[in-house]
Structure 1
């Protein structure tokens, strides 16, 4: 004979953060609509001055990892704010990239929640999120090999979910966070290497995994093309894109310290001209890689604190790979303007590297 469990014991008790039940904490700071302007710039804005000049009740946030600025105002203000931002930046010689206004964006500011509530919520959902992400860990390690970087990224994702969570939908926050985490993991590849290349790799890997599960072996080129509903020529072209993507990931020198590696070159009086020509190419390649490496003085979450992979690809493939920026833009699924922003960063650093070589 089994003993029935009282219904009150079967119901999971609500989570309590900072003395507030989870639902009540979100209800205190409801999600609200606003107009938002997204944009990037060719060099970082003087944020203090920018905030001081913004119209009343308009706020700005900066995502250092993506180099993306977000300006929020009241509904209906989007087009006016976009024009104001263009004029403000132009007056200071700053070029905006991908500026666009988005209407009726529903968000909340995490900082508006009670501090103790937000602190306990992040402390609770951090380990929960890491456990949920175990199935995506092979992908995550390609972009975040350091456990500390992963922990920081998970904390940022939790805060991002807090900002987007709509408590009126009737879905618990934990369930909303779980669905978003997988999407944001996929976005890591898109942000680093371009939407088209990352999506192509993702589709190929899913198809290969499905074929292996069904046939217990890897597919041939023809079998994979048929499985994906593509021609062999299309599959080969897409496979080249994936190979390029993996090659860029394997540039270990971008994550290391290229300046610490000694480059040995022969004495020009004893070496033939062709060897010296190769040595000069080696030095130039070394300088380009060093110019794309993370700035050790920058924080890891800042754009300068991350390897400039897109800038390296733009310079290398258009200079030595025989590819135009238009072709590379289509290949990587990113705009030429975005490529130019990253390439300009390389140019500034490369000038310093080359000046040191000349000296």
Structure 2
């Protein structure tokens, strides 16, 4: 008997996976009903939240408006070839209504799909399936996610938003399965949590340092010294120290108790003016002021979860604290955090509005 005869034949048909079916439609049939299409888009931020109903009513018919609460970013989509005219309409409306725009930018030929255009049953079952798949895949990233989303309900909501985001950007013409596309995007979006909250440069610096430390430890079975880590990363010790300070600041921001409301109930003992020297009083006043700033940047417990006020205003805190006590200018911070001075001013103004109110309360 030949060797080939001894090996049982393999039926290739068993290797092919049956297509997933959602709402009575296969994935390919569902995407075909709402293909991804090109459009023009205008991105912008404002100095305070817009009344969306009024804003939509002031725009041309057929455009759509979305608002990313986490990034404070508005997106207005219109037909191809309308980007510049749409940007002009938005500028005029905001100026007439007394709203300042930040970073208004028209973009042409953006390929997107509106999830609502998909059959409701198809979209519902697809999202339920891929939310479960995504949560399993993200288990290895959960320690990072928990830094920003400690509550299970918030994690579930964020994963659902990511699945919908993937639905809107998935290009079915690229011959890549939706599940594979979603998996590649999830890793990027987890990293973006830190970049959005603390600044692109700070989050990327922390990620590179942690990877380098892990690689060195795996190779040498011990943590690297400062010089060893600098050499391992191809940096000077001075650069490593500067970057380490950025990471330390980032971790300090994460650990601020009052950003979660924990310090608001604490009592601060303020010494009597007549019994202590002026220097001590100056330190006490600075402590109260810095605490008031931190509390002003804490999440508002009365705000809805989808509102920007429900999230810690970390960029506003960083701008105020480091320019007041850290000896930094806004231009320096803008370079270090890789964000615009105008964006920093928007978040700093939000902090200032609440800070003024808290200082009045302290003064009373």
Q: Which category describes the TM-score, using the shorter chain as reference length?
A: over 0.9
Contact 1:258–1:289 at 8 Å: present in 2 too?
Answer: no
Following the alignment from structure 2 to structure 1, what is the Cα–Cα distance between the partners of residues 282 and 64? 54
Aligned to 2:166: 161
Can you list the C-alpha shifts for 1:250-278, whole angstroms capped at 9, x where unaligned? 11211124433332323445555444333
Structure 1 unmatched ranges of 5 or more: none
- Taking the TM superposition and a 5 Å limit, the aligned residue runs for 1:164-313 are 164-313=169-318
Q: CA RMSD in A?
A: 1.6
Cα distance per residue 1:157-198 (max 9 Å; x no partner): 000000000111111110000000000011111101111111
For 1:215 and 1:225, how far apart are their aligned partners in 2? 15
Residue 303 of structure 1 deviates from its aligned partner by: 1.1
Match of residue 78 from structure 1:
83
Secondary structure, counterpart of 1:72 in structure 2 = strand
Residues 73-126 of structure 1, C-alpha deviations (whole Å, 9 max, x = no match): 111111111122111111112111111111111000111111111111111111
2:108 maps to 103
1:257-302 CA-to-partner distances (Å, cap 9, x unmatched) read 4433332323445555444333322221221111111111212232
Deviates more, 1:242-251 or 1:307-316: 242-251
Aligned equivalents of 1:343, 1:185: Cα separation in 2: 25
The answer to which of 335-344 and 131-140 deviates more is 131-140
Q: Distance in 1 between matches of 2:106 and 2:195?
A: 22
CA drift of 1:153 comes to 0.6
- Helix, strand or coil at the partner of 1:260: coil
| Structure 1 partner of 2:3 | none
Structure 2 gaps, min length 5: 1-5
Partner of residue 138, structure 2: 133
Cα separation, 2, equivalents of 1:236 and 1:273: 35
1:119 is the counterpart of 2:124: yes
Aligned length: 359
Which residues of 2 match residues 24-63 of structure 1 at below 5 A? 24-63=29-68
Equivalence for 1:23: 28
Q: Distance in 2 between matches of 1:263 and 1:243?
A: 26
Aligned-partner SS, 1:259: coil
2:199–2:337 contact (8 Å) kept in structure 1: yes
Superposed displacement of residue 15, structure 1: 0.8
- The structural deviation recorded for 1:6 is 4.3
- 8 Å Cα contact 1:34/1:74 also seen in 2: yes
Are 2:257 and 2:263, in contact at CA under 8 Å, matched by a contact in 1? no
2:16 matched to which residue of 1?
A: 11
SS of 2:86 mapped into structure 1: helix
Task: Describe the superposition over 1:113-167 as per-residue Cα deviations: whole angstroms up to 9, x where unpaired.
Answer: 1111111111111121011112222221221222221111100000000000011
Question: In the TM superposition, what is the alpha-carbon distance from 1:338 to its structure 2 partner?
Answer: 0.7
